[in-house]
Amino acid sequence: MEINKEKLGNKRQDYLSWDEFFMSIAKLAGARSKDPSTQVGACIVDENNRVLAIGYNGTPNNFNDDEFPWDRDGEDLETKYLYVCHAERNAIANGNRLSLKGARIYVDLFPCNECAKEIIQFGIKEVIYLSDKYANSKETVASKYLFDKSNVTYRQLEKEHQKTLKLSIKPDVPVTYLDD
């Protein structure tokens, strides 16, 4: 019995690229965030396109997020900024039992300088991000300087790969692309 060669290569053509897939995982992870103003997710993958770790911005472990200030404005101790763990840091912490050397990280927002240091320390070599809305902030400028000096590459997910997906958590309902 032989394989009918005319049947080969008839795969679906509208599947997600690796970048789209991993950025979708990062975005989905961000949906776990309880932050009312900013939901960020991160997904770390190895050179074989295997997911190593996922994280999202939120409170530290064992910290009751009902007793947490989620405000953006106010006195320092009454805002989220001194307490929240960023998605990148959580993903790195979740993957700390594995080697992250040479990995890529997909994240909604360009990493801040503190997360950039963690990314460098753990040997992650590429950052793929969606938004650089704080590009002119001192934290982002410092991040880019750190990455440049540490040979960590970074790139924004190309516009043609930025899609709107409709995801259902119901049986037999496929993911649909709303942009096509």
Contacts of 98 by beta carbon, 8 Å cutoff, 6+ apart? 52, 53
Instruction: Extract the tokens encoding 3.
Output: 């394989």
Q: Is residue 88 among the annotated active site residues?
A: yes
Contact criterion met (CB below 8 Å) for 146 and 113: yes
* CA neighbor of 50 nearest in space, from 96, 97, 103, 14: 103
Instruction: Extract the tokens encoding 49.
Output: 């396109």
Given the residues 88, 114, 126, 139, select the one marked as catalytic.
88
Contacts of 143 by beta carbon, 8 Å cutoff, 6+ apart? 110, 111, 112, 113, 115, 116
CA distance 165 to 154: 24
Active-site annotation, residues: 88
